[in-house]
Amino acid sequence: MFKDNLLKGKRILVTGGGTGLGKEMATHFAKHGAEIFICGRRENVLEETANELTKEYGAKVHFSTLDIRDSKDVDSYIQSIFDSGPLDGLVNNAAGNFISPTKDLSPKGFDAIANIVFHGTFYVTHAVGKRWIESNHKGSIISILATWVWTGSPYVVPSAMSKSGLNAMTQSLAAEWGQYGIKVNAIAPGPFPTKGAWERLNPNGEDGSVMGDHPMGRVGEMNELQNLATFLMADGCEYLTGQTIAIDGAQYLTGGGTFSNLSKLSEDDWEQMRNMIRSSNNKDKADR
Ligand code: HXC
């Protein structure tokens, strides 16, 4: 889809880039020439991913352990990157989530998610953004959200609340930081199976059915998400900012529609429905 050198010369940080969606995006950026920074809580997976990307694409990949819940650690980590040169892109991918009836959540359970998603993502965005503004350097920010920012979602309330806050951050910072050439967007992926997310959100099954019927009858393919992230990270579409783009095969639109379940009807069912509706219409007409 893109030229191999599309992101050449760009330095991009992907939080939580050692595994899951973060690794997939980091891989695609590396494949297209970017220098990559990944951080997360587990050194072994970060190191493995860094080695893999270097071996596969000859990419320059730096990794560091970081818990984004600690604002001081975040600031020193971002400073250490900027000491060797500015970043050009940031992907706020690190997150935490698990399904649970909300009545069973403890305050610590709520905080575990809100501190990572809501607070941590702000700390990283702030630490990078203020350095871009100070040094008059342009940049692109992508936050990985979920379609719950528009619909809410039962059983993942701390995540839905936190990601909704980040949706507001995306819109607000696009308006506030546009004058500095900082592009702020978000991606709301539908079901893209990854080990970390599936173990916590779909612990019983493999097919994603716990997340509802899908209008396209399939989950997302990783290259679809990679292409969108790469497009948002590349130069050439600076006017696109403040947007949260769903990539979910219209799942959330379908789920939200009053008549979504009608997609299950057969041709025969429809014929029967049509006849019933016509018969009502005809009865009405006879009374006119
Ligand atoms: C109820 C739970 C729980 C569960 C943890 N807790 N898991 N409560 N049900 N399944 C509670 C604990 O009991 C504890 O509270 C509190 O949460 C903190 O738990 P810790 O394990 O000590 O927290 P911590 O080690 O900080 O781990 C954070 C975490 C964990 C969020 C709980 O799952 C994590 O590290 N996840 C990172 C990866 C991840 O979640 N990836 C999926 C992202 S998917 P008490 O009161 O008992 O001490 C995503 C969106 C996907 O974000 C969108 C798909 C459409």
Pocket of ligand 1 contains residue 40 by CB under 6 Å: no
pLDDT band at 128 (very low <50, low <70, confident <90, very high): very high
Q: Whose CA is nearest to atom 24 of ligand 1?
A: 112
Pocket of ligand 1 contains residue 109 by CB under 6 Å: yes
β-bridge partners, 90: 13, 141
What's the confidence (pLDDT) of residue 213?
Answer: 75
Q: Could you report the per-residue pLDDT of 9-54, keeping only the tens digit for each? A: 999 999 999 999 999 999 999 999 999 999 999 999 999 999 999 9
β-bridge partners, 182: 139
Q: Whose CA is nearest to atom 23 of ligand 1?
A: 112
Closest CA to 62 of 99, 101, 26: 26
What's the confidence (pLDDT) of residue 210?
Answer: 53
Pocket of ligand 1 contains residue 45 by CB under 6 Å: no
| Region of residue 10 (phi > 0: left; psi between -120 and 50: alpha; otherwise: beta) | beta
Pocket of ligand 1 contains residue 149 by CB under 6 Å: no
Q: Could you report the per-residue pLDDT of 187-210, keeping only the tens digit for each? A: 999 999 888 877 877 777 655 555
Q: Percentage of residues in the chain with pLDDT exceeding 90?
A: 83
31 in Cβ contact with 3 (< 8 Å): no
Pocket of ligand 1 contains residue 95 by CB under 6 Å: yes
In whole numbers, what is the pLDDT of the chain averaged over residues? Answer: 94
Closest ligand 1 atom to the C-alpha of 196? 41
Q: Could you report the per-residue pLDDT of 114-123, keeping only the tens digit for each? A: 999 999 999 9
Pocket of ligand 1 contains residue 157 by CB under 6 Å: no
What's the confidence (pLDDT) of residue 115?
Answer: 98
List CB contacts of 212: < 8 A, sequence separation 6 or more. Answer: 251, 255
Q: Could you report the per-residue pLDDT of 62-114, keeping only the tens digit for each? A: 999 999 999 999 999 999 999 999 999 999 999 999 999 999 999 999 999 99
91 in Cβ contact with 12 (< 8 Å): yes
Q: Whose CA is nearest to atom 28 of ligand 1?
A: 112
> What CA–CA distances, in Å, run from 119 to 17, 101, 147, 182?
18, 23, 19, 21
Domains present along the chain, CATH in parentheses:
11-286 (3.40.50.720)
What average pLDDT score do residues 241-264 get?
Answer: 86
